[in-house]
Every structure is written in C-alpha cells, then in structure tokens.
Structure 1
Amino acid sequence: MPLPQQLREESDFDQLPHNIPVSATIADIEEKKGFIDYFAFVIEVKTKGGSKYFIYRRYREFFNLHQILESKYSPEDPDKPGPNTCVLPSLPGKVFIGNKKEIAESRIPELNTYMKRLLGMPVLLLDEALRMFFYQTDQDNQHQPRALRRLRPPTRKVKTVKPKMDLFSSPRAEVMFDFRGNDKAELNLKRGEVIFLLQRVNADWLEGTVNNQTGIFPQSFVKIIKPLPESDSGGESEGHCYSCLRCFLLTPSGVDTRDVCVQEDLTIQPTHKDLLSRMRNVFKEDDIALNYRDQEGDLIRILDDEDVQLMIKESRRRQGEVKRPVNQFPWELHVTMTSDLSVYNVEA
C-alpha cells in the first residue's frame, strides 16, 4: 500500500518523522525592497519533534504551492475523491490593486487557516513540495527577525521592581539583534547587551530587566545563556539567600576592598569570562586581570576556566585556616591592571 494512502487511512501520527511540520502561524509581515517592493509573511513553523523555526514566504509562493498540490491531489470530481486525492482548502485569491501592506495584513487570517488545514491532512504531510515550502532554508536561518508582533502576549502590567541580579549566577540572555519596543510594556534592546530573565510570558515572549528597565521582549531576539528554572513563575524566589564574594582591586595608590552580593550557591564554579565581566562592572575598569593568592601568599594570575577551578580547589583545601561568614565564598578575587606585573614575585 502506498505510504500516503496508508497514512491517510490509519492517521497514525507516530509513524511520521520528527522533522515533519505540524503547525504554522504567521507571526508578522516584513517589507522587502528591491526592484519591486513586496511584503513577506514571517511564519513560525513547529515540527512533530517539538522544534520551532521561522520561514519567510511571499504570497506567490503560497500560490505556486497550491497549484502544485492541485495538480497532484485534486480529484476531477470533488464529490468522488480517489485513494490518493483530497479536496484542498481554499487559498485567498490574487489582488492586483490596493495598498500592499493592507493586502498582506488582510490575508493573514485566511493564510493561517489555509496552512492549518493543509497540515491537518495526513495525505499531504510527506509531499515533497509541501515539505520544501515549510523547510527552513539557509536564507531563512540567516534572516534577522523583527518584532513578531502577532506572537506577542496581550498588553499586561509589568513589574517595576529592580531585581538584584548577577552576571555569573542569574538566568540571563545575550541580545543578538536590536529591538525597539512598541509600547511601555516592551523593552528596547541593543545587540550585545545582557538581559536578566524574570519569567516566561508565553512560548515566544520573555520578561526581563536591562538598563534598570523591566519589560517584555521576543525570545527570537536573544540567545539564552542561562535559562530560567522550569518551575520559576516569575522574578526572584522569596527568601533566596545571597552569597558574598570578597574582592580586592590592587593599585599603586592602595587597595579597594569590596564585598559583592551574588544570587548563587557557595558551591558554584563561575566561568573566567563571567568573573571578568563582573569585576569590570564592580570596579569600573576594563583593562584588568584576575588573580588569587596561593598557599605562600603569592598572586597567581587567572587566565581561563581551568585556573578558576584550581583557585577553588586551593581555597577549599585551606578553608579551615580563615574564618569567614557562612554565606561568604571560600575563595577571593584579587584584581590588578593587566599591564601591572610588579605585583608578582616573578614577571611572566
């Protein structure tokens, strides 16, 4: 028995490959400028395996797909479909006159219904033309996302609290693309910024804090560095204890000592990159190096994550030698200027 027929008769969802698209929703429209200006539909595709991605399609690509499917599957007599035929859903017709943006916007509900019905027909799910239409090409993957307004949650009251966050302990994300909020509920983001995550609003939008502002933003604009706990319902956990990190800035004019509060367990092993970012923020100096003191009291420069691990191992060995508060890390950071080698016994 041919596979499409078998799928249609058994409707056995389990036998489908995991990369088969099972739903598609238009998230936004984007204007494309060239020799001819046009609007493309930004479509979020979800697969049977649970993955999600965006594709960008013009109306004429919908039209071409529909023509191909009609030639393959439409029965000569709609009232008597054959074993490998089906009645296709209606596609909104071509419009030759009018504002292009308004035409594109008006087509969204009908195209959403069209895609939903197409992907609900098992006889079509393994069709090569359909799969290629919903396949994410390299061009789709490299495309910079926009606001995806139609996936945005309804306007809601946003918290105004400023959570105490830390670069190497809190759920956070890096902004990959500039984003300009559409109203007060949405954050303005710049590429390269680190945003602290408070909670998930829906499948596509998150709430977070950046530059002392709290609001919502589309997840497609960021890369998650440390995800939110699955059980996190939003913001800081009540009663969470802060740990204390003692750090020193060594300069020719003296020593600047700081106790930095971090929202993390004492057993954490941060990365060298996160520690360096944190110390730059604490001491407002960019050209710095991180160090720790060995058993003889000499400064040892920290260059990578392996050195961080050695520092922590060394501090745990000597944990009983120094009395510290119960919430203070057993290791301390000594920050120096990168070019200052005079603090070491032997120049490297």
Structure 2
Amino acid sequence: MQRQLREESDYDQLPDDVPISAHIADAELIKRFNSHYVFAIQVKQKGGGKYFIFRRYRQFYNLHIKLQERFSPENPKNVYTCELPSLPGKVYVGNKQDIAEKRIPELNIYMKKLLELSVWVLLDEDLRIFFHQTVKDSEHVPRSLRRLRPTTQRVKSHKGKEIVREKSEAPQAEALYDFTGDNDLELTFKTGDIIYLLKRVNDDWLEGILNDCTGIFPKLFVRIIKDLSEEALDAKEGRTGAHVIRCIYHDAHCCEIRNVTLRDAVPVHPDHTELLSLMRTEFGKEDIALNYRDPEGDMVRIIDNMDVELMALEAKVHSKVRRPDFAPWELHVTRKADLSVYNTNP
C-alpha cells in the first residue's frame, strides 16, 4: 500500500478522511485542579469534511517524538524517512496565556508543514489519531473562533476603469511559505511570490492581489516589504475612519455645500441605496441623483454599488479632500432630470 501510494496518483488514492489542513482558531483556558490551555483546531479532510479538535501542547510534543522515532533519517532502521518540521520547544517559566498565544503561529506553521509531507506520514496511525475528532472533541463547543478566516467578498474589477498604481509604490509582501487557499476567497501563492496588498482584514489576515487574482491570506505566511498606508489600516473594518461626507448640491439657481456628519464612521464602499436615502433626507428632495467628479473634472452619475466602489478607488489617487475626519471623496447631488451637468461632447 505504501509503495503504491508513492506513485504520481498518491493524493487521489488517499482516503477521504485523511486530514490535509489544520488551523488554530483560538486558545482556551481549562480550569481544573491543574489549569492549562488547549488549542481549538479546525481540521479539514481530503473529502471536504471540517471539524474541531482540542489539543494541549503536550499532545503536540508526544506526537512529534513518535514521528521522529518512526521517520527520522538518523535512524538507520527506518524504511521510510523524511525531514520533519521543527516543533516549538517547551517553555517552563512565564505566563501561561502569553506562552499559549505565542505558540499559535508557530504551531500553525508546524501543522501546515506536517500535513504537506509524504503520504506515508499522512497515513501514520499516531498522526491520524492526533487529528481524529473524539467524542469529547465533538461535545466541546469552541468559546470563540477569532483566528479563523473572516467573512469577506472578492474585490470586483472594472475593465477599462481600474486605477493602477505604480508597483514600486504599492504596499507589498513576500511569501515566506507556500499557501493554498481553501476556496475562491483565499489567495494561493508559493514561496518567494510578491503579493500586492489591498487591505488588512483583521490582525491575522490580509487581502492582496497576485497574477490578477484577488484574495485573503494569513499574515503569518508573508514578510511585509512595504506596509499598507494609514488609510488602508483605518479601513481594516471596512471604514475610512472619517465621520463627515462633503456634499455639493447643484441646482439651476444655486450651488450649496453641506458637510453631513454621520454617527458611525463612513464605510469605504458605502451602499448606493443607503447613500441615496441619506441624501434625500438631508436635502428634503426625492427626485435627486448622486454623482462624483472623475479625474478629468466631468460629472459621473452613480447608479449602483459598482459606481460607488469606482468613486472610492479614484479618490485614493485623485482626492482633493485632505482632512482626516472627512471621507476621501466628495458627493455631488443633482436633480435626477437635470442632464445639463454632464459632459455629453464626444
């Protein structure tokens, strides 16, 4: 069986219940006679199944010792050998919570490299027992999942309308390890790839672009070459950090400027319907249209969320609004039937 699995179709012949990836979602304190921390680990199987297991560092250590005895090249009796990844060492002094938190990224790397080893390692009995969900695991509900991939959406591209920054000026990172995304929302890359950063999703995940593909990935797997701008850092929660929108109302007889203050921060890409409703309330008129000025100075009508996103993208490069409490773009409000504000010349 092991010899057969060494052929090119190794992966296809593996059982569906073999673990292929694992990621620590959180570290939980177990209060007993001897209080200790366990790691809540989400495991993904080859067949697509996902579940949680809960393991102490001691169990990681015991597994590593058994795998060393069985697969270490230093033991001449071992028929199948491989170079095992390094396990973070034992720590005897220090705060237990700090130790557990520090171990999370190290153990994530260890599990990733471990599950990328040869198929005979994946079929090892002790390894499969370690990643197997016991009855006790299935009854244990994680208290929080703060390190799992956050919910997000892919960045839409606008053919012919994209704002392209000079690559030398763009925030970027170098991949330290290979990373294979679990789905279309996650970016796949190899060691050494240069990823251009779009935003910080949370403390553990970034969003970037590589070879015209956009997706999110763990910060742990890259080295930051040039960090995101302050604007991008403020937008990690989908907000600009600003609370004021500058609005310019155009009428046949006057042009009025208003600064509309919001209770919450202005979204990076506001919803068009909500923005329209806000302006109708602010100006007391129903028959209005929303617009922005493009880099050439022409008025462009906003009719959907894609136009709002394009307005925000262009504002990153051409914004004239400098105050940090103001949104980086200006909103121009006109009467819906007034087409005289648009440049219709070819």
Same fold (TM over 0.5): no
TM-score band, normalised by shorter chain = 0.3 to 0.5
Q: Which has the larger radius of gyration?
A: 1
Query: What TM-score, normalized by structure 2, do the two folds share?
Result: 0.42
Query: What TM-score, normalized by structure 1, do the two folds share?
Result: 0.42
